[in-house]
Amino acid sequence: MHKVVIVGRPNVGKSSLFNRLLGKRSAVVADVPGVTRDLKEGVVETDQGRFLLVDTGGLWSGDKWERKIQEKVDRALEDAEVVLFAVDGRSELTQADYEVAEYLRRKGKPVILVATKVDDPKHEHYLGPLYALGFGDPIPTSSEHARGLEELLEAIWEKLPVRHIESEPEVAGIKLAIVGRPNAGKSSLLNAILGEERVIVSEEPGTTRDAIDVHFTFRGQPFVLVDTAGIRKRPETLVEELAIRRSLKAIEEADVVLLVIDPFQVGDRELKLANHALEKGKPVVLVISKWDLVRKEEAPKVRRELKEKLAHLEHLPRVFTSAFTKQNLERIFSEAVRLFELNHTRIPTAELNRWLSVWTAKVQLPNFKGKPLKILYATQPEVAPPTFVFFVNHPEFVTRAFENYLKNRIGEDLGLKEVPFRLVFRGRREES
Protein backbone atom coordinates (compact mmCIF):
# COMPACT_ATOMS: atom_id res chain seq x y z
CA MET A 1 0.00 0.00 0.00
CA HIS A 2 1.15 3.56 -0.73
CA LYS A 3 2.43 5.47 2.29
CA VAL A 4 2.02 9.21 2.92
CA VAL A 5 3.53 10.87 6.02
CA ILE A 6 2.54 14.19 7.60
CA VAL A 7 5.40 16.16 9.22
CA GLY A 8 5.86 19.62 10.65
CA ARG A 9 6.71 21.47 13.84
CA PRO A 10 4.39 21.15 16.86
CA ASN A 11 0.88 22.61 16.86
CA VAL A 12 0.53 23.35 13.14
CA GLY A 13 -2.59 21.18 12.74
CA LYS A 14 -1.08 17.86 11.65
CA SER A 15 -3.50 15.72 13.66
CA SER A 16 -6.50 17.78 12.55
CA LEU A 17 -5.42 17.27 8.94
CA PHE A 18 -4.92 13.55 9.63
CA ASN A 19 -8.45 13.29 11.05
CA ARG A 20 -10.01 15.16 8.13
CA LEU A 21 -8.31 13.04 5.48
CA LEU A 22 -9.41 9.89 7.28
CA GLY A 23 -12.92 11.25 7.54
CA LYS A 24 -13.21 10.52 11.27
CA ARG A 25 -11.91 11.76 14.60
CA SER A 26 -9.03 9.35 15.07
CA ALA A 27 -6.26 11.40 16.70
CA VAL A 28 -6.50 13.45 19.86
CA VAL A 29 -6.41 17.16 19.00
CA ALA A 30 -5.83 19.95 21.51
CA ASP A 31 -4.52 23.49 21.24
CA VAL A 32 -1.30 22.69 23.06
CA PRO A 33 2.00 21.51 21.55
CA GLY A 34 3.22 17.96 21.95
CA VAL A 35 -0.10 16.08 22.04
CA THR A 36 1.07 13.64 19.34
CA ARG A 37 4.36 11.93 20.23
CA ASP A 38 4.14 8.56 18.49
CA LEU A 39 3.33 7.51 14.95
CA LYS A 40 -0.37 7.11 14.19
CA GLU A 41 -1.62 5.31 11.08
CA GLY A 42 -4.89 5.16 9.17
CA VAL A 43 -6.05 4.13 5.71
CA VAL A 44 -7.47 6.85 3.45
CA GLU A 45 -10.03 5.61 0.91
CA THR A 46 -10.48 7.65 -2.29
CA ASP A 47 -11.91 7.11 -5.75
CA GLN A 48 -8.35 6.69 -7.10
CA GLY A 49 -7.41 4.08 -4.50
CA ARG A 50 -6.25 3.86 -0.92
CA PHE A 51 -3.10 4.84 0.90
CA LEU A 52 -1.68 4.59 4.41
CA LEU A 53 -1.53 7.99 6.11
CA VAL A 54 0.88 8.49 9.03
CA ASP A 55 0.59 11.28 11.60
CA THR A 56 3.82 12.17 13.43
CA GLY A 57 4.95 14.13 16.46
CA GLY A 58 6.05 17.73 16.09
CA LEU A 59 9.70 18.12 15.02
CA TRP A 60 11.99 20.56 16.80
CA SER A 61 9.64 20.61 19.78
CA GLY A 62 12.35 21.79 22.17
CA ASP A 63 11.18 19.43 24.94
CA LYS A 64 12.57 16.19 26.36
CA TRP A 65 10.76 14.12 23.72
CA GLU A 66 12.42 15.89 20.75
CA ARG A 67 15.09 13.26 20.01
CA LYS A 68 12.73 10.28 20.31
CA ILE A 69 10.11 11.99 18.14
CA GLN A 70 12.69 12.64 15.42
CA GLU A 71 13.81 9.00 15.54
CA LYS A 72 10.23 7.93 14.89
CA VAL A 73 9.80 10.42 12.05
CA ASP A 74 13.08 9.14 10.55
CA ARG A 75 11.66 5.62 10.62
CA ALA A 76 8.32 6.69 9.13
CA LEU A 77 10.06 8.45 6.23
CA GLU A 78 12.21 5.46 5.28
CA ASP A 79 9.51 3.96 3.05
CA ALA A 80 7.32 7.05 2.59
CA GLU A 81 6.37 7.85 -0.99
CA VAL A 82 5.01 11.35 -0.35
CA VAL A 83 5.50 13.78 2.55
CA LEU A 84 2.92 16.39 3.56
CA PHE A 85 4.88 19.28 5.07
CA ALA A 86 2.32 21.05 7.27
CA VAL A 87 2.85 24.71 8.19
CA ASP A 88 0.50 27.10 9.96
CA GLY A 89 -0.96 29.31 7.22
CA ARG A 90 -2.07 31.95 9.70
CA SER A 91 1.25 32.43 11.49
CA GLU A 92 4.66 33.73 10.52
CA LEU A 93 7.27 31.12 9.69
CA THR A 94 9.41 30.10 12.64
CA GLN A 95 12.96 28.85 12.85
CA ALA A 96 11.51 25.38 13.47
CA ASP A 97 9.68 25.54 10.11
CA TYR A 98 12.98 26.26 8.34
CA GLU A 99 14.66 23.44 10.27
CA VAL A 100 11.97 21.00 9.15
CA ALA A 101 12.30 22.20 5.54
CA GLU A 102 16.06 21.59 5.57
CA TYR A 103 15.51 18.20 7.21
CA LEU A 104 13.08 17.17 4.44
CA ARG A 105 15.47 18.33 1.71
CA ARG A 106 18.10 15.99 3.14
CA LYS A 107 15.60 13.12 3.06
CA GLY A 108 15.02 13.61 -0.68
CA LYS A 109 11.36 12.55 -0.61
CA PRO A 110 8.61 14.12 -2.75
CA VAL A 111 7.11 16.91 -0.62
CA ILE A 112 3.75 18.70 -0.78
CA LEU A 113 3.64 21.95 1.17
CA VAL A 114 0.31 22.19 3.04
CA ALA A 115 -0.78 25.50 4.57
CA THR A 116 -3.16 24.65 7.41
CA LYS A 117 -5.80 26.73 9.25
CA VAL A 118 -6.59 28.84 6.16
CA ASP A 119 -10.28 29.14 6.97
CA ASP A 120 -11.13 31.96 4.56
CA PRO A 121 -10.06 32.31 0.88
CA LYS A 122 -8.99 35.93 1.48
CA HIS A 123 -6.27 34.64 3.83
CA GLU A 124 -4.56 32.92 0.89
CA HIS A 125 -3.08 36.30 -0.11
CA TYR A 126 -0.82 36.07 2.96
CA LEU A 127 0.86 32.79 1.99
CA GLY A 128 3.67 34.43 -0.02
CA PRO A 129 6.35 33.92 2.66
CA LEU A 130 5.82 30.14 2.48
CA TYR A 131 7.60 30.04 -0.90
CA ALA A 132 10.83 30.74 1.04
CA LEU A 133 10.70 27.16 2.29
CA GLY A 134 11.60 25.99 -1.23
CA PHE A 135 8.78 23.54 -1.92
CA GLY A 136 6.76 25.47 -4.50
CA ASP A 137 3.08 26.38 -4.28
CA PRO A 138 1.50 25.75 -0.89
CA ILE A 139 -1.93 24.12 -0.88
CA PRO A 140 -4.24 26.14 1.42
CA THR A 141 -6.42 23.94 3.64
CA SER A 142 -8.73 24.20 6.61
CA SER A 143 -9.45 21.07 8.59
CA GLU A 144 -12.15 22.87 10.56
CA HIS A 145 -14.07 23.84 7.41
CA ALA A 146 -12.88 20.96 5.16
CA ARG A 147 -11.34 23.40 2.66
CA GLY A 148 -8.72 22.33 0.13
CA LEU A 149 -8.92 18.61 0.84
CA GLU A 150 -9.91 17.62 -2.71
CA GLU A 151 -7.02 19.65 -4.11
CA LEU A 152 -4.66 18.07 -1.60
CA LEU A 153 -5.78 14.52 -2.44
CA GLU A 154 -5.36 15.28 -6.15
CA ALA A 155 -1.81 16.54 -5.51
CA ILE A 156 -1.02 13.41 -3.46
CA TRP A 157 -2.13 11.08 -6.24
CA GLU A 158 -0.13 13.07 -8.80
CA LYS A 159 3.04 12.40 -6.80
CA LEU A 160 2.37 8.77 -5.85
CA PRO A 161 4.05 6.25 -8.17
CA VAL A 162 1.77 4.23 -10.43
CA ARG A 163 1.26 0.65 -9.30
CA HIS A 164 -0.48 -2.27 -10.91
CA ILE A 165 -3.73 -3.19 -9.19
CA GLU A 166 -3.17 -6.16 -6.95
CA SER A 167 -5.13 -9.22 -8.07
CA GLU A 168 -5.82 -10.51 -4.57
CA PRO A 169 -7.97 -8.40 -2.25
CA GLU A 170 -6.42 -7.35 1.03
CA VAL A 171 -7.49 -9.33 4.09
CA ALA A 172 -8.78 -7.15 6.92
CA GLY A 173 -6.61 -7.37 10.02
CA ILE A 174 -7.91 -8.45 13.41
CA LYS A 175 -7.96 -5.31 15.53
CA LEU A 176 -6.41 -5.77 18.98
CA ALA A 177 -6.83 -2.93 21.50
CA ILE A 178 -4.05 -2.88 24.11
CA VAL A 179 -5.54 -1.29 27.25
CA GLY A 180 -4.72 -0.91 30.93
CA ARG A 181 -3.80 1.54 33.64
CA PRO A 182 -0.83 3.94 33.17
CA ASN A 183 2.58 2.23 33.30
CA ALA A 184 1.10 -1.27 33.07
CA GLY A 185 3.54 -2.04 30.25
CA LYS A 186 1.31 -1.52 27.20
CA SER A 187 3.78 0.41 25.04
CA SER A 188 6.67 -1.84 26.07
CA LEU A 189 4.59 -4.84 25.01
CA LEU A 190 3.85 -3.28 21.62
CA ASN A 191 7.52 -2.45 21.05
CA ALA A 192 8.54 -6.00 22.01
CA ILE A 193 6.04 -7.45 19.54
CA LEU A 194 7.28 -5.20 16.73
CA GLY A 195 10.95 -5.64 17.62
CA GLU A 196 11.51 -1.88 17.59
CA GLU A 197 10.74 1.17 19.73
CA ARG A 198 7.66 2.16 17.78
CA VAL A 199 6.10 4.08 20.67
CA ILE A 200 7.88 6.09 23.34
CA VAL A 201 8.28 4.28 26.66
CA SER A 202 8.93 6.14 29.89
CA GLU A 203 8.43 5.56 33.60
CA GLU A 204 6.51 8.83 33.62
CA PRO A 205 2.76 8.03 33.61
CA GLY A 206 0.80 9.41 30.67
CA THR A 207 3.60 9.21 28.09
CA THR A 208 1.21 7.73 25.53
CA ARG A 209 -1.29 10.49 24.78
CA ASP A 210 -3.40 8.87 22.06
CA ALA A 211 -4.50 5.55 20.59
CA ILE A 212 -1.74 4.43 18.22
CA ASP A 213 -2.70 2.09 15.34
CA VAL A 214 0.04 -0.19 13.99
CA HIS A 215 -0.49 -2.63 11.11
CA PHE A 216 1.32 -5.90 11.74
CA THR A 217 1.42 -9.43 10.28
CA PHE A 218 2.07 -12.52 12.39
CA ARG A 219 2.35 -15.93 10.73
CA GLY A 220 0.46 -14.70 7.69
CA GLN A 221 -2.41 -13.22 9.72
CA PRO A 222 -2.74 -9.42 9.53
CA PHE A 223 -3.45 -7.51 12.73
CA VAL A 224 -4.00 -3.90 13.68
CA LEU A 225 -2.45 -3.29 17.10
CA VAL A 226 -3.89 -0.30 18.94
CA ASP A 227 -1.77 1.02 21.81
CA THR A 228 -3.86 3.26 24.05
CA ALA A 229 -3.34 5.84 26.74
CA GLY A 230 -3.38 4.53 30.29
CA ILE A 231 -6.78 4.92 31.90
CA ARG A 232 -6.67 6.81 35.20
CA LYS A 233 -9.42 7.12 37.76
CA ARG A 234 -9.49 10.90 37.33
CA PRO A 235 -7.85 12.60 34.33
CA GLU A 236 -5.79 15.62 35.34
CA THR A 237 -5.90 17.57 32.07
CA LEU A 238 -8.13 17.99 29.02
CA VAL A 239 -5.59 16.09 26.90
CA GLU A 240 -5.72 13.16 29.32
CA GLU A 241 -9.51 13.21 29.31
CA LEU A 242 -9.58 13.14 25.49
CA ALA A 243 -6.99 10.35 25.44
CA ILE A 244 -9.06 8.25 27.84
CA ARG A 245 -12.12 8.74 25.66
CA ARG A 246 -10.10 7.50 22.69
CA SER A 247 -8.96 4.49 24.72
CA LEU A 248 -12.56 3.58 25.53
CA LYS A 249 -13.51 4.10 21.88
CA ALA A 250 -10.63 1.83 20.85
CA ILE A 251 -12.18 -0.90 23.01
CA GLU A 252 -15.52 -0.45 21.26
CA GLU A 253 -13.88 -0.64 17.81
CA ALA A 254 -11.66 -3.64 18.61
CA ASP A 255 -12.20 -7.28 17.68
CA VAL A 256 -10.32 -8.47 20.77
CA VAL A 257 -9.12 -6.53 23.83
CA LEU A 258 -5.71 -7.21 25.38
CA LEU A 259 -6.01 -6.07 28.99
CA VAL A 260 -2.43 -5.52 30.18
CA ILE A 261 -2.08 -6.05 33.94
CA ASP A 262 0.89 -5.13 36.10
CA PRO A 263 1.10 -8.03 38.61
CA PHE A 264 2.21 -5.56 41.29
CA GLN A 265 -0.74 -3.20 40.71
CA VAL A 266 -4.13 -4.88 40.40
CA GLY A 267 -7.45 -3.46 41.51
CA ASP A 268 -10.92 -2.31 40.55
CA ARG A 269 -9.64 -0.51 37.45
CA GLU A 270 -8.76 -3.79 35.73
CA LEU A 271 -12.17 -5.25 36.58
CA LYS A 272 -13.94 -2.14 35.28
CA LEU A 273 -11.98 -2.17 32.02
CA ALA A 274 -12.69 -5.86 31.45
CA ASN A 275 -16.39 -5.39 32.24
CA HIS A 276 -16.58 -2.39 29.88
CA ALA A 277 -15.12 -4.52 27.06
CA LEU A 278 -17.39 -7.48 27.79
CA GLU A 279 -20.47 -5.23 27.92
CA LYS A 280 -19.52 -3.97 24.46
CA GLY A 281 -19.35 -7.58 23.24
CA LYS A 282 -15.55 -7.71 22.99
CA PRO A 283 -13.55 -10.81 24.02
CA VAL A 284 -10.74 -10.11 26.50
CA VAL A 285 -7.30 -11.67 26.96
CA LEU A 286 -5.68 -10.93 30.32
CA VAL A 287 -2.02 -10.17 29.59
CA ILE A 288 0.01 -10.28 32.81
CA SER A 289 3.03 -8.10 32.05
CA LYS A 290 6.48 -7.69 33.66
CA TRP A 291 6.59 -11.39 34.61
CA ASP A 292 10.40 -11.26 34.43
CA LEU A 293 10.30 -9.06 37.55
CA VAL A 294 8.55 -11.77 39.59
CA ARG A 295 11.11 -13.93 41.39
CA LYS A 296 10.74 -17.64 40.76
CA GLU A 297 10.10 -18.42 44.44
CA GLU A 298 7.44 -15.68 44.58
CA ALA A 299 5.61 -16.73 41.40
CA PRO A 300 3.10 -19.17 43.04
CA LYS A 301 2.11 -16.56 45.62
CA VAL A 302 1.69 -13.84 42.97
CA ARG A 303 -0.42 -16.18 40.84
CA ARG A 304 -2.70 -16.91 43.83
CA GLU A 305 -3.08 -13.21 44.58
CA LEU A 306 -3.92 -12.48 40.94
CA LYS A 307 -6.49 -15.27 40.95
CA GLU A 308 -8.14 -13.80 44.04
CA LYS A 309 -8.14 -10.21 42.80
CA LEU A 310 -9.37 -11.23 39.34
CA ALA A 311 -11.85 -13.84 40.56
CA HIS A 312 -14.70 -12.31 38.57
CA LEU A 313 -12.59 -12.73 35.41
CA GLU A 314 -11.63 -16.34 36.10
CA HIS A 315 -13.30 -17.48 32.85
CA LEU A 316 -11.02 -15.29 30.70
CA PRO A 317 -7.76 -16.64 29.22
CA ARG A 318 -4.56 -15.18 30.63
CA VAL A 319 -1.03 -15.00 29.31
CA PHE A 320 2.00 -14.35 31.56
CA THR A 321 4.47 -12.37 29.51
CA SER A 322 7.48 -10.07 29.55
CA ALA A 323 8.42 -7.34 27.09
CA PHE A 324 12.05 -7.69 28.26
CA THR A 325 12.43 -11.47 27.75
CA LYS A 326 9.70 -11.71 25.06
CA GLN A 327 8.15 -14.57 27.03
CA ASN A 328 4.84 -15.84 25.57
CA LEU A 329 4.45 -13.04 22.99
CA GLU A 330 3.37 -15.58 20.37
CA ARG A 331 0.75 -17.01 22.69
CA ILE A 332 -0.92 -13.60 22.91
CA PHE A 333 -1.67 -13.81 19.20
CA SER A 334 -2.81 -17.43 19.27
CA GLU A 335 -5.22 -16.62 22.12
CA ALA A 336 -6.46 -13.51 20.31
CA VAL A 337 -7.14 -15.43 17.10
CA ARG A 338 -8.88 -18.20 19.03
CA LEU A 339 -11.17 -15.73 20.82
CA PHE A 340 -11.83 -13.86 17.58
CA GLU A 341 -12.99 -17.08 15.92
CA LEU A 342 -14.97 -18.10 19.02
CA ASN A 343 -16.73 -14.74 19.04
CA HIS A 344 -17.77 -15.41 15.43
CA THR A 345 -19.20 -18.85 16.25
CA ARG A 346 -22.60 -19.54 14.69
CA ILE A 347 -24.68 -22.40 16.07
CA PRO A 348 -27.12 -23.91 13.52
CA THR A 349 -30.76 -23.49 14.57
CA ALA A 350 -31.43 -27.23 14.59
CA GLU A 351 -28.44 -27.92 16.84
CA LEU A 352 -29.36 -25.04 19.16
CA ASN A 353 -32.89 -26.34 19.60
CA ARG A 354 -31.66 -29.88 20.27
CA TRP A 355 -29.58 -28.47 23.10
CA LEU A 356 -32.52 -26.39 24.26
CA SER A 357 -34.66 -29.50 24.68
CA VAL A 358 -31.88 -31.07 26.79
CA TRP A 359 -31.52 -27.95 28.98
CA THR A 360 -35.24 -27.53 29.63
CA ALA A 361 -35.63 -31.22 30.50
CA LYS A 362 -33.15 -30.83 33.36
CA VAL A 363 -34.75 -27.86 35.12
CA GLN A 364 -38.18 -26.74 36.26
CA LEU A 365 -39.29 -23.82 34.13
CA PRO A 366 -40.48 -20.63 35.85
CA ASN A 367 -44.20 -20.02 36.17
CA PHE A 368 -46.41 -17.12 37.18
CA LYS A 369 -49.61 -17.82 39.11
CA GLY A 370 -49.62 -21.38 37.87
CA LYS A 371 -48.99 -20.50 34.23
CA PRO A 372 -45.60 -21.90 33.09
CA LEU A 373 -43.03 -20.29 30.86
CA LYS A 374 -42.85 -22.04 27.50
CA ILE A 375 -39.88 -21.74 25.13
CA LEU A 376 -41.15 -22.24 21.60
CA TYR A 377 -37.76 -22.23 19.85
CA ALA A 378 -34.39 -20.46 19.72
CA THR A 379 -32.14 -19.08 17.02
CA GLN A 380 -28.84 -17.22 16.69
CA PRO A 381 -29.17 -14.24 14.32
CA GLU A 382 -25.84 -12.51 15.08
CA VAL A 383 -22.18 -13.09 15.88
CA ALA A 384 -19.52 -10.87 17.48
CA PRO A 385 -20.95 -11.17 20.02
CA PRO A 386 -23.01 -14.35 19.53
CA THR A 387 -26.63 -13.39 20.18
CA PHE A 388 -29.28 -15.99 20.98
CA VAL A 389 -32.97 -15.17 20.65
CA PHE A 390 -35.50 -17.28 22.57
CA PHE A 391 -39.13 -17.05 21.49
CA VAL A 392 -41.34 -17.60 24.53
CA ASN A 393 -45.00 -17.31 25.44
CA HIS A 394 -44.40 -14.65 28.12
CA PRO A 395 -40.98 -12.87 28.26
CA GLU A 396 -41.89 -11.40 31.65
CA PHE A 397 -41.92 -14.92 33.12
CA VAL A 398 -38.15 -15.28 32.56
CA THR A 399 -36.45 -15.04 35.96
CA ARG A 400 -32.88 -13.95 36.61
CA ALA A 401 -32.07 -17.44 37.91
CA PHE A 402 -33.40 -19.13 34.77
CA GLU A 403 -31.54 -16.69 32.50
CA ASN A 404 -28.31 -17.41 34.40
CA TYR A 405 -28.99 -21.13 34.03
CA LEU A 406 -29.21 -20.74 30.24
CA LYS A 407 -26.05 -18.62 30.21
CA ASN A 408 -24.14 -21.31 32.11
CA ARG A 409 -25.39 -24.04 29.80
CA ILE A 410 -24.52 -22.07 26.65
CA GLY A 411 -21.09 -21.28 28.05
CA GLU A 412 -20.34 -24.88 29.00
CA ASP A 413 -22.17 -26.97 26.40
CA LEU A 414 -21.56 -24.69 23.41
CA GLY A 415 -18.01 -23.79 24.50
CA LEU A 416 -18.61 -20.05 24.66
CA LYS A 417 -17.76 -19.26 28.29
CA GLU A 418 -14.61 -17.30 27.30
CA VAL A 419 -16.45 -14.78 25.11
CA PRO A 420 -19.36 -12.45 25.83
CA PHE A 421 -22.69 -13.54 24.38
CA ARG A 422 -26.18 -12.13 24.64
CA LEU A 423 -29.60 -13.60 25.36
CA VAL A 424 -32.80 -12.01 24.08
CA PHE A 425 -36.30 -13.17 25.01
CA ARG A 426 -39.16 -12.32 22.66
CA GLY A 427 -42.85 -12.94 23.05
CA ARG A 428 -44.69 -15.07 20.57
CA ARG A 429 -48.13 -16.60 20.80
CA GLU A 430 -48.39 -20.38 20.84
CA GLU A 431 -49.81 -21.93 17.73
CA SER A 432 -53.25 -23.38 18.46
Binding residues for GTP: 8-15, 55-59, 180-187, 227-231, 289-292
Binding residues: 8-15, 55-59, 180-187, 227-231, 289-292
Residue from 249, 229, 248, 225 nearest 239 by CA: 229
